């Protein structure tokens, strides 16, 4: 079957015909042996030949699907090396995503519209993918605005790991009253009358925010499968073909993994998933790990779903939540239990990933690792890495390199970069995280998003942050030395994740013998102006030779997308990431909305300056909107 024009290709009957041939493409292969090509052939899920029409033409048989990329850029499929899809997929269709929304005004209009169609008993939740730095107004919504937009539907909007804003109906539904005590590490803000205002503050722990969200209705198992499928398809929309799930709270094993396991059994995964196991109960972490070590082994599974190790937490007490609006949390003594956990993993041949934000935490963790290394237990040939490490020091990087560790970086500071700068200073912001210092030590760096609760899952926003050093509003933060060039950034998003799962010989580049995982892009990542990188999407996404997403002139090449259920789902009406392709989607009204909002913000800044309240924080016109210039 041929799906596209095949000019220049001679049809014949080769002995080993390709299932799929992609031609007339600008292929970035990532393969140092052959970095550029215009065509490649795929058979049984893998790339067989890379080159030009002349090389692939002999492989076209009567059943070969030949796709003309019409000169578009093609890249190896992206791999988000730190995502929380296993948990996030369970309720993706119930969330209103503000990813890509450029004004609070637009976000609140979406809340108003969605509240009107949300059935009684259901909640409206916005959790992640936005921040005060991604909306023109540079502020959170107020409870009063949520009450006005949604008088009856419970609405919860979380802001990073800092705060949650609830309307009156949500306070009621969550059972938060004047008599509710503040939980440890959190604050229920109250008015003079003692009544909760609707603002919850993580000070500094985010448990209050997420235990509140956890009171919202959940989907039944079929609904969770459908929801996870929709999330994976949304990731395919951006050319993502692999991810590594970093696990988390409320994600026990094996129960918390049933949805992806079932989807895998039904052949319905459209993104390859490697997953981690994260002890759930404070004080019982080593018991959890021991139980799992008796059940499964790293690399168990197949090329679609496989276990990769433990983490991103190994023990709760060692976790330093990043809340850059608050001072660094002081962790208590955690080394004894932490050492037991790492020792058990190392003795059992398990690798791990470890969440750490601050250098103080990294140094304490490294001291434990070095003690075990002195006993000959570390790194023991196991794959391990530190995640996040925005504030890691050069000395710690030396120690990580000496122990053979890798690093996972995510664009958390794209959403809280100016907050970080206001607390730690411009100088610290130029090196957060110190990508140049990692590069000069030859450390392996894999990139990702940490979606969905802080940053967006859209990989192109993360790639923009890696390359530009700017937050989502375009405010420059990281210095040139600590940015990546585009090829390096793409490698960290392809080969980067493949190396973390030990699959670098089959995944991450387009070469003979590698999985046929690739994306045809709307715009050329290597040519497009830097500030437009976040607009890139995939026209065609292929995983293992299978078309999982097709848009634009490829529409029809992918299987029909199952409808979003329930039919009132915010995803069904708004879609996921709100793309900002020019002004044509919501037109002049949106442009006016942005301008009004920015004007309000500018007026607000002038007032703050006049009254001595300005702290030199945000530039009010740092809107991230091509319609407003």
Q: Which is nearer to Zn ion, 201 or 389 (CB)?
A: 389
Candidate ranges 93-101, 196-204, 304-312, 418-426; the one touching Zn ion (CB under 5 A)? 304-312
Provide, rounded to whole angstroms, the least separation between the CB of residue 355 and Zn ion.
4
Cβ 410 to Zn ion shortest distance, Å: 8
Q: Residue 69 or 274: which CB sits closer to Zn ion?
A: 274
Instruction: Decide whether 272 or 355 has the Cβ nearer to Zn ion.
Output: 355
Q: Does 453 bind Zn ion (CB under 5 A)?
A: no
Phi-psi region of 426 (alpha: psi -120 to 50; beta: other; left: phi over 0): alpha
Report the C-alpha gap between 48 and 42 in whole angstroms: 6
The CB-of-357 to Zn ion minimum distance in angstroms stands at: 8
Six-digit token pair at 615?
């702290």
Binding segment (CB under 5 A) for Zn ion, from list 104-112, 151-159, 306-314, 324-332: 306-314
Of 65, 34, 39, the C-alpha closest to 53 is 39
Which CB sits closer to Zn ion, 68 or 245? 245
Handedness of CA 418, 423, 428, 431 (dihedral sign): negative
Identify the burial level of 121 via C-beta atoms within 10 angstroms of its C-beta, where 0-12 means exposed, 13-18 middle and 19 or more buried: exposed
- Residue 293 vs 318, nearer CB to Zn ion: 318
Q: Give 26 or 355: the residue with its C-beta nearer to Zn ion.
A: 355
Per CB under 5 A, 355 contacts Zn ion: yes
3-state secondary structure of 50: strand
Using the rule CB under 5 A, give the single segment among 43-51, 115-123, 309-317, 328-336 that binds Zn ion. Answer: 309-317
Nearest distance in Å: CB 82, Zn ion? 7
Q: Please, what is the Cα angle at 198 between 195 and 202, to 5 degrees?
A: 110
Smallest distance from the beta carbon of 321 to Zn ion, in angstroms?
A: 9
Closer CB to Zn ion, 324 or 525, in the complex: 324
Applying CB under 5 A, the span of 202-210, 297-305, 350-358, 363-371 interacting with Zn ion comes to 350-358
Smallest distance, Zn ion to C-beta of residue 263, A: 24
Q: Which of residues 560-599 bind Zn ion (CB under 5 A)?
A: none
3-state secondary structure of 616: coil
Specify the stretch interacting with Zn ion by CB under 5 A; choose among 14-22, 146-154, 354-362, 614-622.
354-362
Q: Applying CB under 5 A, does 412 fall inside the site for Zn ion?
A: no
Which single residue brings its beta carbon nearest to Zn ion? 355
Binding residue count for Zn ion, defined by CB under 5 A: 2
Handedness of CA 267, 268, 274, 280 (dihedral sign): negative
Taking CB atoms within 8 Å and a gap of at least 24, the contacts of 611-620 are 615/422, 617/138, 617/418, 617/422, 618/132, 618/133, 618/138, 618/418, 618/473, 618/475, 619/475, 620/138
Q: Which is nearer to Zn ion, 320 or 535 (CB)?
A: 320
User: Least Å distance between CB 405 and Zn ion?
Assistant: 16
Bridge partners of 39, per DSSP, are: 51
Nearer to Zn ion, 102 or 453 (CB): 453
The residue among 84 and 421 lying less far from Zn ion, judged by its C-beta, is 84
- 3-class SS string, 195-248: CEEEEEEECCCCHHHHHHHCCCCCCCHHHHHHHHHHHHHHHHCCCEEEEEECCC
Q: Which DSSP string do the residues of 448-491 spell out, in sequence order?
A: E--BTSSS-S-HHHHHHHHHH-B-TT--B-S-GGGS--HHHHHH
CA 170 to chain centre: 27
Nearest Cα to 87, choosing from 95, 78, 79, 98?
A: 95
Closest separation between CB of residue 361 and Zn ion, Å? Answer: 11
Site string for Zn ion, 312-341 (x = CB under 5 A): x-----------------------------
Complete edge-to-edge strand list for the sheet that includes strand 73-76: 36-37, 26-28, 73-76, 518-521, 538-543, 546-550
Report, in Å, the least distance between residue 500 CB and Zn ion. 15
Segment lying near Zn ion (by CB under 5 A), choices 284-292, 311-319, 343-351, 601-609:
311-319
Residues that bind Zn ion (CB under 5 A): 312, 355
């Amino acid at each position: 079957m041929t799906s596209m024009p095949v000019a220049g290709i001679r049809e014949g009957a080769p002995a080993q015909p390709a299932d799929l041939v992609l031609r007339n493409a600008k292929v970035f292969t990532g393969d140092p042996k052959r970095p550029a090509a215009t065509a490649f052939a795929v058979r049984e899920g893998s790339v067989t030949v890379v080159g030009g029409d002349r090389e692939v033409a002999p492989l076209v048989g009567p059943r070969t699907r030949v796709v003309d990329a019409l000169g578009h850029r093609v890249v190896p499929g992206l791999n988000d090396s730190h995502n929380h899809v296993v948990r996030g997929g369970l309720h993706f269709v119930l969330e209103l995503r503000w990813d890509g929304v450029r004004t609070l005004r637009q976000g609140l209009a979406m809340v108003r519209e969605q509240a009107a169609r949300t059935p009684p008993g259901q909640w409206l939740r916005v959790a992640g993918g936005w921040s005060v730095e991604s909306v023109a107004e540079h502020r959170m919504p107020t409870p009063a605005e949520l009450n006005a937009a949604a008088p009856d539907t419970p609405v919860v909007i979380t802001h990073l790991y800092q705060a949650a804003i609830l309307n009156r109906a949500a306070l009621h539904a969550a059972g938060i009253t004047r008599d509710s005590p503040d939980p440890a590490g959190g604050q229920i803000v109250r008015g003079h009358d003692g009544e909760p205002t609707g603002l919850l503050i993580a000070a500094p722990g985010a448990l209050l925010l997420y235990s509140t969200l956890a009171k919202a209705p959940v989907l039944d198992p079929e609904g969770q499968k459908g929801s996870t499928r929709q999330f994976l398809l949304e990731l395919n929309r951006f050319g993502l073909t692999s991810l590594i799930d970093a696990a988390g709270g409320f994600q026990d094993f094996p129960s918390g993994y049933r949805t992806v396991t079932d989807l895998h059994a039904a052949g319905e995964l459209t993104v390859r998933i490697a997953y981690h196991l994260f002890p759930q109960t404070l004080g019982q972490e080593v018991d959890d790990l021991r139980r799992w070590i008796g059940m499964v082994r790293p690399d168990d599974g197949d090329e679609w779903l496989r276990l990769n190790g433990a983490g991103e937490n190994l023990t709760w007490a060692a976790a330093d939540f990043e809340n850059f609006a608050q001072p660094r949390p002081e962790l208590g003594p955690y080394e004894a239990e932490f050492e037991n956990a790492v020792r058990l993993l190392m003795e059992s041949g398990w690798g791990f990933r470890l969440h750490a934000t601050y250098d103080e935490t990294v140094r304490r963790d490294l001291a434990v690792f070095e003690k075990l290394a002195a006993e000959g237990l570390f790194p023991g040939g196991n794959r391990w890495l530190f995640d996040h490490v925005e504030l890691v020091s050069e000395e710690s990087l030396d120690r990580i390199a000496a122990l053979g560790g890798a690093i996972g970086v995510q664009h958390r500071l794209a959403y809280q970069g100016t907050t970080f700068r206001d607390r730690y200073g411009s100088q610290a912001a130029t090196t957060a995280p110190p990508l140049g210092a990692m590069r000069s030590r030859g450390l392996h760096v894999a990139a990702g998003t940490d979606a969905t609760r802080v940053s967006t899952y859209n990989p192109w926003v993360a790639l923009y942050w890696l390359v530009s050093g700017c937050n989502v509003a375009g405010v420059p933060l990281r210095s040139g030395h600590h940015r990546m060039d585009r090829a390096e950034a793409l490698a960290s998003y392809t080969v980067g994740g493949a190396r973390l799962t030990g699959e670098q010989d089959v995944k991450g580049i387009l070469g003979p013998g590698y999985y046929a995982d690739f994306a045809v892009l709307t715009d050329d990542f290597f040519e497009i102006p830097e500030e437009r990188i976040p607009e890139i999407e995939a026209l065609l996404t292929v995983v293992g030779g299978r078309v999982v997403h097709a848009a634009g002139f490829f529409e029809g090449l992918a299987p029909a997308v199952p409808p979003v259920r329930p039919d009132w789902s915010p995803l069904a009406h708004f879609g996921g990431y709100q793309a900002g392709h020019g002004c044509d989607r919501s037109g002049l009204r949106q442009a006016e909305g942005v301008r009004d909002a920015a004007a309000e913000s500018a007026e607000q800044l002038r007032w703050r300056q006049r009254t001595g309240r300005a702290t030199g924080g945000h530039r009010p016109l740092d809107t991230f909107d091509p319609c407003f210039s």
